[in-house]
Structure 1
């Protein structure tokens, strides 16, 4: 496949405005490519939705099974803040600009093109490469959950997520995420007679302090060697209608980044314990509900998939032109993870705070599974003027081709 066609495929899927929806349109486009190449594939509707769907495609047969996964949705965009049309792939100074260029349509396209080229060349695949293209990763991960529930991960030996890993880094662990909404119910009254009411805002402030202190105390001495510690943030708060009225309702949203040693289930139990103690101790009426619930993942730092990536990708990284700032950043990151003699070409393996579809796909095996996140991109996901370096995008196609043919050996 010529470079122009590789860029055209990425351009076409970026043009599909799959903003938190309409992943089926991406799946239909990819299905046509796979059908023309003679690669077995299927579109899997997501519930009753007419606009959301997953896509599965397979190359090769038998064991081992390498699942490769990427999501088809992107986040909202404010076109007024972009220098280019966010849904038109635009090349400038060696970079490819567009919504999803980094997160993560470049990774998705690179996987698909690698499969198409391997099929066209008749290259033997030792085992099975199973593409799981998901819907809804950005909000709730329903696509990944559907794949897991439908059994597509049951026989998988390793999982590659092609999210942007940042200047060729390989990620084998990521924190989980627990988003909760705390509701405070009170009783309205005139502010001159507060004793006739029950101030929901005051109760919310008090219980939020209890929650933050309680969780920090419970997790203070618990740390993951790769992912670090538990992080809790109170991110939104609202309550009351006017300054001279005792508020009858208030609400806050909390984001907690979790580690395997004190996982989401333990945190949820701790939250319920804190809230029950508060309600039992006075006139508060506090309740809590869960929004996002993403399991922390810690893979195997000695896994075959990770070692294959580090070996195969090294020559591509060495030949790529990185800026002085990028090299300085990589050297600092290498030092942080214990690599003293870092040199360009080394693939740094580490953990990251953010979550991926892996949290749903390997929810039954969150510790020690052969999992790596490795894909083209940088630190511009969700940002205005998101881009991916053109050289990186093209390099990853070649990296994936080699990886897919060598993983099963």
Structure 2
């Protein structure tokens, strides 16, 4: 039997793996798999298409349905350009805080989940416990959908706890997301005769202005349905980066930017896809009336369905019993919860740490939150035993 590590020791190991989404996570997955297998836990992998990343999932307890899944992601955001006081890949404790990339988002929860799996194996739980560690959450939650499907080889659990940092409060819903890479293809002429050409930048500005008009109209409307629970209480659209152009006196041949919609539950991604396509096609026709060679190419990069609250959510009930939290939590950022919900699980988002320090330099989780996270797991294990 392998040595049993404390949650803190496991977190130290996890933080040490620089699992930025652009790189492989296999060193971390290898370590977790070896550790769990050393305690008699059979692990399974779900691979990405390139074979350089893997998700890991496992089952402890009787081979029956109705268990609980602890869901976390293994990837983290980059540290380049950030002013870190400590080595981001070394867990450092100072003044009641555990510093390190991913300590809050979300290797803190991952460490607690790994610890809980070993404890569940030792205790002999009568209701199963499962773990699901994904890849590529930070770049659109693109790994979770396949993971949820791959887990069907296990006895189907009923409840999923997605351990994003909520300070151990229950989150019942979040916005969805759909994003497009937009390439404006103009026609170059001297700017003194710009009416004979098509500036990709200036027409791109028209499409961006459409985004502004959508936001203005959404903000002015009375919130409907579940939208009222969110901040802001409506679907909004955002353009964060833009590039293009050759010279000041040439109409731009190229312009490129990304357009992203954050969609409230109760509205569909498809309706916003359709609205954007209508605006794109209308503007493209205007461009082509001047120069038929021009175009607007919009390529969907990724999508994430909204996570909607639902009645009789047994995962929510379980977390409320474990934490005593009775608040109604709704967030505008996305998580993997919606993919598990669409796969037929009851889902709640709840984990230690504060989302406000996620992705920041000197990311940390307080020792108090981490210790409370361990007590959360202990209470869960008591209910499963």
User: Is 1:203 aligned to 2:180, yes or no?
Assistant: no
Q: Provide the secondary structure at the position in 2 that maps to 1:298.
A: coil
Residues 3/387 of structure 1: CA separation in 2 closer, same or farther (3 Å cut): farther
- 1:250 aligns to what? 255
User: Is contact 1:222-1:262 (8 Å) kept?
Assistant: no
User: Is contact 1:65-1:157 (8 Å) kept?
Assistant: yes
Q: Provide the secondary structure at the position in 1 that maps to 2:98.
A: strand
Q: Provide the secondary structure at the position in 2 that maps to 1:17.
A: coil
Instruction: Give 2:272's match in structure 1, choosing from 259, 262, 267.
Output: 267
Q: Report Cα offsets for 1:303-353 as digits up to 9, x if no partner.
A: 232222222224xxxxxxxxxxxxxxxxxxxxxxxxxxxxxxx45331101
TM-fit CA distance, 1:107: 0.4
- 1:294 aligns to what? 304
- 1:392 aligns to what? 369
- 1:194 aligns to what? 194
Instruction: Give 2:234's match in structure 1, choosing from 215, 229, 234.
Output: 229
Q: Report Cα offsets for 1:59-93 as digits up to 9, x if no partner.
A: 11312132221011111013861111111100111
- 2:15 aligns to what? 14
User: Is 1:181 aligned to 2:158, yes or no?
Assistant: no
TM-fit CA distance, 1:241: 1.2
Residues 288/362 of structure 1: CA separation in 2 closer, same or farther (3 Å cut): same
- Which runs of structure 2 are paired with 1:355-394 in the superposition (5 Å)? 355-363=334-342, 370-378=346-354, 379-394=356-371
Q: Provide the secondary structure at the position in 1 that maps to 2:330.
A: strand
**Counterpart Cα distance in 1 of 2:370 and 2:363:** 14
Which moves more between the two structures, 29-38 or 39-48? 39-48
Residues 90/79 of structure 1: CA separation in 2 closer, same or farther (3 Å cut): farther
User: Is contact 2:6-2:115 (8 Å) kept?
Assistant: no
**Counterpart Cα distance in 1 of 2:263 and 2:155:** 25
TM-fit CA distance, 1:380: 0.6
Residues 119/148 of structure 1: CA separation in 2 closer, same or farther (3 Å cut): closer
TM-fit CA distance, 1:202: 1.7
Q: Provide the secondary structure at the position in 2 that maps to 1:47.
A: coil
User: Is contact 1:54-1:132 (8 Å) kept?
Assistant: yes
**Counterpart Cα distance in 1 of 2:323 and 2:102:** 23
Q: Provide the secondary structure at the position in 2 that maps to 1:246.
A: coil
Which moves more between the two structures, 57-66 or 279-288? 279-288
**Counterpart Cα distance in 2 of 1:311 and 1:212:** 43
Q: Provide the secondary structure at the position in 2 that maps to 1:291.
A: strand
**Counterpart Cα distance in 2 of 1:33 and 1:397:** 19
- 2:131 aligns to what? 131
Q: What TM-score do you get using the length of structure 1 for normalisation? A: 0.83
- 1:92 aligns to what? 94
**Counterpart Cα distance in 2 of 1:295 and 1:175:** 8
User: Is contact 2:180-2:258 (8 Å) kept?
Assistant: yes
User: Is contact 1:110-1:396 (8 Å) kept?
Assistant: yes
Residues 184/145 of structure 1: CA separation in 2 closer, same or farther (3 Å cut): same
**Counterpart Cα distance in 2 of 1:17 and 1:113:** 21
Residues 94/180 of structure 1: CA separation in 2 closer, same or farther (3 Å cut): same
- 2:156 aligns to what? 155
Q: Provide the secondary structure at the position in 1 that maps to 2:358.
A: coil
- Which runs of structure 2 are paired with 1:1-150 in the superposition (5 Å)? 5-20=6-21, 21-49=23-51, 51-60=52-61, 61-78=63-80, 81-120=83-122, 122-126=123-127, 128-150=128-150
Which moves more between the two structures, 135-144 or 6-15? 135-144
User: Is contact 2:112-2:377 (8 Å) kept?
Assistant: yes
- 1:353 aligns to what? 332
Residues 13/151 of structure 1: CA separation in 2 closer, same or farther (3 Å cut): closer
Which moves more between the two structures, 376-385 or 59-68? 59-68
Residues 2/397 of structure 1: CA separation in 2 closer, same or farther (3 Å cut): farther
User: Is contact 2:45-2:55 (8 Å) kept?
Assistant: yes
**Counterpart Cα distance in 2 of 1:46 and 1:289:** 21
Q: Report Cα offsets for 1:22-46 as digits up to 9, x if no partner.
A: 2211111111221121122123332
Q: Report Cα offsets for 1:204-239 as digits up to 9, x if no partner.
A: 112222344257547945532433311222212222
Q: What TM-score do you get using the length of structure 2 for normalisation? A: 0.88
| Structure 2 gaps, min length 5 | none
Q: Provide the secondary structure at the position in 1 that maps to 2:362.
A: coil
